[in-house]
Structure 1
């Protein structure tokens, strides 16, 4: 047999086996690989910048509803898969010359689309929000997003085909890709969003994308010279990889993605409602990719497995016992460290099963499919089929099951350990499904999990509380003398209580309320009054009517309008509200589109002469009053800050309200003068508009550890 024939047979035999194990054991790349690393880094950074920029443009059109964000997620995952599939088709069915021409051409067209999106004219259908999101995102960033998604697998394939295998491992460039994602993830809320408008952000991305196009063109010219232009890759490359291996690729990636989504949801719903908290678990998830794909020598497999077991046990214990006895920052940190350990294990097993470079794009296509599957299971499927937040417990069980699968060929001891962890996972899921922690009602949908708890006070009166995550959104005491007494954030001594008591003398009032909750504001209703609630979650209205009596007991005429409040108010004729209450800022996902110059214009259009806008800005982590002070000044109005202190004997919570009005008589009222507190505006704080908003400058200093 000739030498070339032997080499060809050896190459074919290696194609279905893992990548060459003689590759360097430290994170090292030849000098020429630095250009690939730079291009991949830029591509991933731009990809993670496009997501928040595009999503923020849609919020004023369709509101900050969960359905909108879910549709954004569907688009991003679908476009990512499409990009990976495009890279796979190019690598497996075309020549290097064609690949370079197509990729550079798509980058150029992507720059054109972004330039057109600098000052877009956007319209959306409120009746078909999901279809509108998909269409608008396609028009804004469709081609750039797909092209940037293809960058990492395509350039890794070029590098693998044009570099001797003994010099570098192309898979290590995937670690660079995730470093770029982390940089964008941290830079956007901390550096970019606080300083730049959406228009300038889009221009910046377009300029960097143009630079990437030039870099790709230079690299492409080098690639086309490095190999015979007529040579093509095998067209049936994935057929050489066993179906069981490809299924395991998808399962490992899906489980890690599911854990990310489930941990993020669990923290925000059950631990702490902290804005930007989703960044921490996402950084842990991406960091696990970086570590797993950077080097084969460290960390050793025994250490990764050991950390995963610890992460499973600790997470299961916290989920089972609850986190009420732990400081919220400590509980959040423990969950995120455990997530890193578990994802490191799953991604390390992926890396161990990576195929030879000829199958690189097929490998990444399966990984992307798994990532999309995990996020869709938590973001779309789980809210439809699960009555409660069981996602994390199920994710831990699936991780243990995958651990048993990958350990099956190893020692008997490890099989026993993982089998025991599977048993623990089954017990945890069973416990979570069976134990509702005192909830008499629990409803889960796209907007999260809403539950009603029932307890008894010292006089044995029934007390019901409405929770969305860890935030109380209403409470009612079922004693005759307290049934229609305003409590929690709505006491007579609170800002909203003063506004409602002092606004109108004894005449009938028109009151608008953004955020229904349990319907607590209805206790202020008198005969002849009209109270109109705006609520985005139909489940909240159902609970307010079935588990609480604020609406049915009120002598006022009450009405609930379903849908995003700003979208609804924009479409309505002027309502002439004496008081418009905006109560939507206590959770982790602050709807910034309700706190902009344009939003205030919408509210003012619905005010009666001398009307008052009452904003509930009670939030443990954000100082929102300065934003309203700036908005009031810009509109020629005044902002009154009122703080009410906790009084457990009266079931009154700490609350902070800002009343915005131009009513001089109301501002001169002695009760308002006594309660009014100054609002300090931090130096450099910018006026919020639909084109600019940033939460980071408003995070209270003690919480900036995040």
Structure 2
């Protein structure tokens, strides 16, 4: 029964991680950092669970251990089901990380803590009856349960069950686990009441530091690479789970059987992986196909984790020190997670934690090489080569530092917070369309300011007086949003809602008597748009701001009777999925006048979003037109794809929209996205 309970605890532990994260993701704007903070919480509670098991087995007798653990299991049933209450939803964008941690503590804190403690505690009880090291097989069994829990969520659970049913199903399964684990705990009352491993030789501090460093390195790489992937696609479970599954797979292989990890082989592979990932961080390689970048970073993560966890398995202690090993390994994981989720956004203005983690992994590899008795570098003849590698590692670290600064060479200002990295730069437009005989424009008329969120431009403004009030980038006069404004202008006194602020470019379309309401979750974006761009200041419309997640704000507001509502809230190339579900589209139309227009910006390098919008339009019985406007490099106009939606027959009153657009049709048909279901597999380019 013990092995089954260990497996069940790990399975439930890693099922609840993507489940609860998906539920609260829309509350905080659907940004990638939500998963990072969730992982930090899970790592910290995992550490607390291991510490609890460690102290329980060291300080208390078996009877007391069983009684205390059984009592906590019974208490944890009182917090079920784990579905968070609506009263926990944020009312603004203040301190999102702290709010996420609070929600997690109140919903899954105690169950997750006890699930975390179960595996080391049961293994410790088993180890007290065995003298060999076979209990470490249960560590591998625990990781198999974790991996199956992760993989089954996006493939079996998420596509078939709504989030509410997922929460209830998990809660029932946890209750069954608690009963089984409680029975095992009660059975400990018949055992001897003295701690079982006193007098064993203590583990040296340098070994504990090694455990901590290896775990911290793999954890930091996991979070940093996951961030790197999701910030340019979408914060969704299957993109969270791929890196985490590779991380867990390395644990299974390294602790299941020693034959999977060969130090010299993986040290060589590690050098290749670190070099490839460092090179792939170059801005010039961002145009590579998405699947190549994902494969490269996932393969690199797996090799790095095999090195870290292989070395961890090689240094594992006597089974009597099992809980100490769990504790120090988990502490290292927390250190790595804290660095990526908490410290890096405070100390770096850009996304540089991946650079640091790669450098740390290289230094750890050199240290392992130096201390390995079998290493050829221990021989005198190889020492020059060893020091040459030290020099090469130093060059790599310095090179990564310069690479980290490359993004900011032409950047006036770089800022970062929970919601992402924002960059401003002053540039000169390329003079690419001058014809013979045309007058050379003044240099000041070619200068413009760019705002970037991650890797994507979120607004441009010419700095010269001749064109500073012209909407450009994705918002030119021929774009979908420009055509919609032109069609509605004769009405006068327009009420316009805009989800996503950017540089405030759309405010350039405002006229006297209009009211533009911007829904923006990132306070830093509002600060930049007001301070460094003049679209908002120069607009003739009355400007208002609603801070917080747009969907939550609209849910709380009465119908706004917008003439036009524009959805353009994507950060980098990552999409907040909760803004593209059918429930979201129903909400948008609740806030539109019956003859109003909904404009959705769907330009994306990696995702083909037309089928998603088409499915929602068909479900709701709305007309949908696609307007794909060409680029104009001389005027910094980008190729843009907008979909305009309205009630049946409304577009017949707007001939300019009918002329510019075409009915939204697609050869790819996807299942309707809802708050309970969404899948990116079918829309990946």
Moved more, 214-223 or 46-55: 214-223
Query: Please, which of 423, 429, 432 is the counterpart of residue 451 of structure 1?
Result: 423
| 1:273/1:471 contact within 8 Å kept | no
Question: Is 1:496 equivalent to 2:467 in the alignment?
Answer: no
Aligned to 2:43: 77
Aligned to 2:140: 175
Separation (CA, whole Å) in 1 of partners of 2:545 and 2:220: 36
**Equivalences for residues 111-190 of structure 1 within 5 A:** 111-114=77-80, 116-117=81-82, 120=85, 122-126=87-91, 132-165=99-132, 169-190=134-155
Match status 1:553 vs 2:518 = no
- Distance apart, 1:696 and its partner CA: 3.4
Instruction: Give the equivalent residue in structure 2 for 1:205.
Output: 170
Q: Which residue of 2 aligns with 1:677?
A: 663
Instruction: Give the CA deviation at 1:634.
Output: 5.7
Q: State the Cα distance separating 1:360 from its structure 2 match.
A: 0.7
Residues 327-336 or 646-655, more deviating: 646-655
- Structure 1 CA distance for aligned equivalents of residues 667 and 549 of structure 2: 29
Q: Which moved more, 1:653-662 or 1:248-257?
A: 653-662
Residues 1:445 and 1:99: Cα distance change in structure 2 (over 3 Å): same
- CA 284–482 in structure 1, closer or farther in 2 if over 3 Å, else same: farther
Match of 1:299 in 2: 261
Tell me the secondary structure at the aligned position of residue 297 of structure 1.
Answer: helix
Question: Aligned to 2:24, which of 58, 69, 72?
Answer: 58
1:516 maps to which residue? 501
1:586-665 maps to which residues of 2 (within 5 A)? 587=572, 589-596=574-581, 598-600=583-585, 602-629=587-614, 631-632=616-617, 637-648=622-633, 651-662=636-647, 664-665=649-650
Equivalent residue in structure 1 for 2:250, among 288, 301, 305: 288
* Structure-2 separation of matches of 1:373 and 1:131: 18
Deviates more, 1:328-337 or 1:671-680: 671-680
Q: For 1:621 and 1:84, locate their aligned partners in 2 and report how far apart those are by CA, in whole Å.
A: 41
> Residues 386-465 of structure 1 correspond to what in structure 2 (within 5 A)?
386-410=348-372, 411-412=377-378, 413=382, 415-416=386-387, 418-432=389-403, 434-435=405-406, 436-453=408-425, 454-458=427-431, 461-465=446-450
Partner SS, residue 695 of structure 1:
coil
2:53 counterpart (77, 81, 87)? 87
Change (3 A) 1:371 1:667: farther
Contact 2:77–2:175 (Cα < 8 Å) also in 1 = yes
Give secondary structure in 1 for the equivalent of 2:264: helix
Shift of 1:222: 7.7
Q: Using the alignment, how far apart are the partners of 1:164 and 1:222 within structure 2?
A: 21
Q: Is the 8 A contact 1:585 1:619 kept in 2?
A: no
Distance, in Å, in 2 between the alignment partners of 1:642 and 1:581 is 14
In 2, Cα distance between equivalents of 1:286 and 1:196: 25
Q: Which moved more, 1:637-646 or 1:251-260?
A: 637-646
Distance 1:357 1:613 in 2: 63
Aligned partners of 1:617 and 1:657 also within 8 Å: yes
Q: How many Å separate the matches in 2 of 1:178 and 1:152?
A: 10
Q: Which residue of 2 aligns with 1:230?
A: 193
Residue 579 (structure 1) shift: 0.9
Kindly tell me: are residues 314 and 71 of structure 1, through their superposed partners in 2, closer, same or farther at Cα, counting changes over 3 Å?
Answer: closer
Residue of 320, 335, 339 corresponding to 2:297: 335
Distance between the aligned counterparts of 1:136 and 1:325, measured in 2? 38
Q: Structure 2 vs 1, CA of residues 280 and 647 (structure 1 numbering), >3 Å: closer, same or farther?
A: farther
Say whether 1:345 aligns with 2:307. yes
Instruction: Evaluate the alpha carbon distance shift between residue 137 and residue 281 of structure 1 in structure 2; reply closer, same or farther with a 3 A threshold.
Output: closer
> Could you tell me how far 1:580 is from its partner in structure 2?
1.4
Note if 1:693 corresponds to 2:655: no
Which stretch shows the higher mean deviation, 383-392 or 277-286? 277-286
Whole-angstrom distance in 1 between the partners of 2:581 and 2:290: 30
- Conservation of the 8 A alpha-carbon contact between 1:491 and 1:497: yes
Structure 1 residues 562 and 325, CA, compared in 2 at 3 Å: closer, same or farther? closer
Task: Say which is worse superposed, 277-286 or 139-148, in terms of deviation.
Answer: 277-286
Secondary structure at the counterpart of residue 438 of structure 1: coil
Paired residues of 2:456 and 2:573 also in contact (CA < 8 A): no
Counterpart selection for 1:581 from 566, 589, 604: 566
Pair 1:526–1:698, CA change in 2 (3 A): farther
Equivalenced residue count is 658
* More off after superposition, 550-559 vs 441-450: 550-559
Structure 1 residue 253: deviation in Å?
Answer: 0.8
Call closer, same or farther: CA 1:643–1:684 in 2, change over 3 Å: closer
Secondary structure of the residue aligned to 2:663 is: coil
TM-aligned CA deviation for residue 468 of structure 1: 1.6
- The 10-residue stretch of structure 1 (214-223 or 355-364) with the greater mean CA deviation from structure 2: 214-223
Contiguous gaps of at least 5 residues in structure 1: 1-34
Q: Which moved more, 1:595-604 or 1:439-448?
A: 595-604
The equivalent of 1:544 in structure 2 is: 529
CA RMSD of aligned residues (A): 3.3
> How do 1:248-327 and structure 2 match up within 5 A?
248-268=210-230, 276-319=238-281, 322-324=284-286, 326-327=288-289
* TM-aligned CA distance change 1:569 to 1:120, over 3 Å: closer
CA pair 399-687 structure 1, distance change in 2 beyond 3 A: closer
Say if 1:274 and 1:588, in contact at 8 Å, map to a contact too: no
Which of 458, 466, 485 is matched with 1:473 structurally?
458
1:372 shift after superposition: 1.1
Aligned residue for 1:513, secondary structure, equals strand
Q: Residue 519 of structure 2 contacts residue 549 of structure 2 at CA under 8 Å; is this kept in 1?
A: yes
Q: Does the 8 Å CA contact 2:46/2:113 hold for their aligned counterparts?
A: yes
Tell me the alpha carbon deviations over residues 347-403 of structure 1, each in whole angstroms, 9 at most, x when there is no partner. Answer: 222111111111111111111111111111111111111122221221122223223
Aligned-partner Cα distance in 1 for 2:33–2:394 = 36
- Against the structure 1 CA distance between its residues 281 and 121, is the aligned structure 2 distance closer, same or farther, given a 3 Å change threshold? closer
Q: Closer, same or farther in 2 for the Cα pair 1:131/1:280, shift >3 Å?
A: closer
The 1:181/1:649 distance shift into structure 2, 3 A limit, reads farther
Secondary structure at 1:653's aligned position in 2? coil
Residue aligning to 2:554: 569
Does the 8 Å contact 2:555/2:587 carry over to 1? yes
CA pair 588-489 structure 1, distance change in 2 beyond 3 A: closer
Provide TM-score, normalisation by structure 2.
0.86
Conservation of the 8 A alpha-carbon contact between 2:345 and 2:418: yes
Question: What is aligned with 1:360?
Answer: 322
| Contact 2:282-2:403 within 8 A present in 1 as well | yes
Structure 1 residues 627 and 490, CA, compared in 2 at 3 Å: closer, same or farther? same
Q: CA deviation at 1:140?
A: 2.1
Contact 1:400/1:421 (<8 A) preserved: no
Going from structure 1 to structure 2, the CA distance change for 1:323 and 1:179 (only over 3 Å counts) comes to farther
